[in-house]
Amino acid sequence: MCGIVGCIGKNHGREYIINGLKTLDYRGYDSAGIAFLKQDSISIYKDAGSVEHVNSLIPIGEDGDAIIGHTRWATHGKPNKSNSHPHISFDGEFVLVHNGIVERFAEHKASLLKQGVTFNSDTDSEVFVNMIALFYKEEKNVLKAIKKAMETVDGSYAIALIHKGENRLYVLKNVSPLLIGIGEDFNLVASDASPMIEYTNKFIELGDKEYGYIEKSNYKIFNFDGQEVSKKLISKDISLVRHDLNGYPHYMLKEIEEIPDVITRLVNHYYLDEKYNFDDELIKKIKQSDHIIFLGCGTSYHASLVGGRYFEEMLEIPTASYIASEWAFHPMFPGKKPFIVFISQSGETADLIHCLNIVKKYNYDTLLITNTSGSTLERGCKYSLNIQAGVEVSVASTKAYAAQVAMLLLLVAAVKGEAKIADEILRALPIIKSIKDKQNDIKNVANIIKDKQSIFYIGRGYDYYLSLEASLKLKEISYIHSEAIAGGELKHGPIALIENETPVIVFFTDNVTANSMRGNIEEVKSRGARVFVISTKELSKDGDTIIIDQYPNYLSSIIVSSVAFYLAYYTSLSKGYDVDKPRNLAKSVTVE
């Protein structure tokens, strides 16, 4: 879950590296570091803390022929200076930045120690750079040393590597994402396109177990067998990868308010001239399946719960939604002809990649719903659908969640052949926009709950699924203990936690469960809870906190989610936290 950047032949390369690391720090921001290669010398600057802090440690005018940089989310070793990247080999010949996990690293480290290799950190990444250095002493060839290290090490990695005395930047990749940017008399490398998009729109996506090098005006890529491979240049839509605040104080606020535009773009992409624009073979495979299995993590799992209900209610196809990290160790395939749907914002989620490797053994049809093209999961799944949300920088997902749910709904509508659903989504967009006008009411709630130790969300049906996502958002960025409870489950234990002034936030938009939910509200009130009700006009009563215009109930997770996101945002803001970079978290979870 780290971010890496590199460049060679780039004028003002330091500027590219610094700006690139800032662009990628949503992938990790525990520490940062940069290495400059100048002829036969290497200078390294790194420390715990921000990219800006590390930049302040670098002398004015410092630059290099080849430069690599890293922003870290700690997995092995505490976030401190010694564990920060880049890491230098024991002999001082190689310097590496790494995103991923070295499996059995303790075993490899013990073997290297016996061979006289010394270590300066607690990281698994230092094993890799020392292994390459040791193999280089045998092979006298960097590419052969890299290949031998790749044959020895299991795990995930995206690596940029420099070798003292060589005006080259070496790259190697397995599972973790890595892109090369092709420029005029310079070449770039990064974890994704966003740091490079201002300099080039020509990219090479490295495949798993591929390695090679870039030079100022040249590059070569090899497969795991050591054979040179020809790579196709691809381009990226700049509007979907640029990181601009556009006057907003935080990315999270910007991304919440982009939801209507994202949904509009999504519908217009998959619903053209009153016809759904999906692969006919995909639609056929779904119709032929007797069970839909959804796999996701965190927010994507919550979206799958909503999507599962769409498939069951609208198509009468049984579904099962699983947390990927659990399913991977206890895989289940309900039905005789299941269809597997993976949901991943990044397409690089390690737990889902683990699941995909299991599914491949059974040769079942697979679909990925993602926000990122060219990912590991996209290459591995038979079908892929992009949610068209554009880059999401804030660690707490907002617009991607709404788009995932909308994507699942559009897919169901296409299978059903129901044009009305796409029209109803578009007609509901003004309601989402109107929630922006209710921010003062939401801020008032945030100011009341910000100092509470525990908060509870309750709902039924679609509102319960929304409660799960709302609760996750609040705990992610405000660090308040929060729990989502199905309204009917209150009396089966959780109501024991309700005390005087305990905040209870209620999503109340389903007329089928309305009477029961009003009963639940009274139950927690009678125990002294401070209740905040978010309701639709049709179901509202005097005293409800936020009232939203009427819409079809199945759209709740698309529309009312904005209320939940605003509440989490303003609660975190009122506590003085970094909204976009919550502690201990990173955007793309590329380790299990």
Here the CATH number for the domain that contains residue 510 is 3.40.50.10490
Residue 586 lies in a domain: no
Q: What integer pLDDT is reported at residue 239 of this predicted model?
A: 66
Rounded Cα–Cα distance for residues 287 and 417 (Å): 12
> Does the pLDDT of residue 453 top 70, yes or no?
yes
| CATH number of the domain bearing residue 117 | 3.60.20.10
Quickly state the pLDDT bin for 40 (edges 50, 70, 90).
confident
Q: Please indicate, yes or no, whether residues 86 and 128 belong to a single structural domain of this protein.
A: yes
Could you tell me the two tokens for 417?
A: 């052949």
pLDDT at position 31, please? 87
- Domain boundary residue among 210, 239, 268? 239
Mean pLDDT value across residues 206-222: 94
Q: Are residues 117 and 93 in the same domain?
A: yes
Of the ranges 239-248, 281-290, 484-493, which is most confident? Answer: 281-290
**How many CB atoms lie under 10 A from the CB of residue 424?**
16
Residues 213, 293 share a domain: no
Residue 295 pLDDT? 98
| 148: annotated active-site residue | no
pLDDT score for 402: 97
Catalytic residue of the set 2, 7, 297, 355:
2
Of the candidates 46, 216, 399, 587, the residue annotated as catalytic is 587
123-177 tens-digit pLDDT: 889 999 999 999 999 999 999 999 999 999 988 899 999 999 899 999 999 888 8
Domain identity same for 235 and 266: no
Average pLDDT, the chain: 92
Burial class (CB in 10 A: 0-12, 13-18, 19+), 110: exposed
Say which range, 41-55, 236-250, 318-332, 561-575, has the weakest mean pLDDT: 236-250
193 lies in some domain? yes
Residue 556 lies in a domain: yes
Domain shared by 281 and 152, yes or no: no
pLDDT of residue 591: 53
Has residue 468 been placed in a domain? yes
The answer, yes or no, to whether residue 501 has pLDDT greater than 60, is: yes
Per-residue pLDDT reduced to its tens digit, 24-38: 876 777 889 999 999
Assess whether 184 and 307 both reside in one domain: no
Q: For the residues 372-382, what does the mean pLDDT come to?
A: 87
Active site residue 10: no
Q: Is 107 a domain residue?
A: yes
CA distance 73 to 30: 5
- Averaged over 210-233, what is the pLDDT? 94
Q: Are 149 and 273 contained in the same domain?
A: no
pLDDT at 258: 95
Q: Which residues contact 2 (CB under 8 A, 6 or more apart)?
A: 27, 28, 70, 71, 72, 73, 85, 97, 98, 99, 191, 586
Are residues 495 and 449 part of one domain? yes
Q: Is the pLDDT of residue 334 over 60?
A: yes
Q: Domain count of the chain?
A: 2
pLDDT for position 194: 85
| CA neighbor of 518 nearest in space, from 584, 434, 442, 459 | 459
pLDDT tens digits, 564-576: 999 999 999 999 9
Confidence at residue 587, expressed as pLDDT on a 0 to 100 scale: 60
**Per-residue model confidence (pLDDT) at position 308:** 97
Q: Can you tell me whether residue 70 is helix, strand or coil?
A: strand
- Residue that is last in its domain, among 175, 210, 239: 239
Total residues belonging to the chain? 592
**What is the predicted pLDDT for the residue at 373?**
81
Give the domain extent around 21.
3-239
Q: Is the pLDDT confidence value at 585 over 80?
A: no
Among the residue ranges 138-152, 187-201, 252-266, 432-446, the one predicted with the least confidence is 187-201
Asked if residue 439 belongs to a domain, the reply is yes
Residues 406 and 537 in one domain: yes
What pLDDT was estimated at residue 238?
A: 72
Q: What is the model's pLDDT at position 399?
A: 96
Residue 430 has pLDDT above 70, yes or no: yes
Together in a domain, 192 and 222: yes
Choose the final residue of a domain: 239, 263, 298: 239
Kindly state the average pLDDT of the residues 495-504. Answer: 93
Q: Are residues 288 and 231 in the same domain?
A: no
Please give the average per-residue pLDDT across 329-334, as a whole number: 94
> pLDDT at position 45, please?
94
State residue 179's pLDDT score: 93
319 has pLDDT over 90: yes
Strand positions, DSSP E, 324-391: 338-344, 366-370, 383-386
Average the pLDDT over 323-346 and give the result. 95
The pLDDT score that the predictor gives to residue 274 is 86
Is 581 contained in some domain?
no
Q: Indicate whether 68 and 133 sit together in one domain.
A: yes
Query: What is the rounded average pLDDT of the residues 515-529?
Result: 93
The verdict on residue 246 lying in a domain is no
CA 227 to chain centre: 33
Q: Model's pTM, two decimal places?
A: 0.81
What pLDDT is recorded for position 292?
Answer: 98
Cα 558 from Cα 49, distance rounded (Å): 36
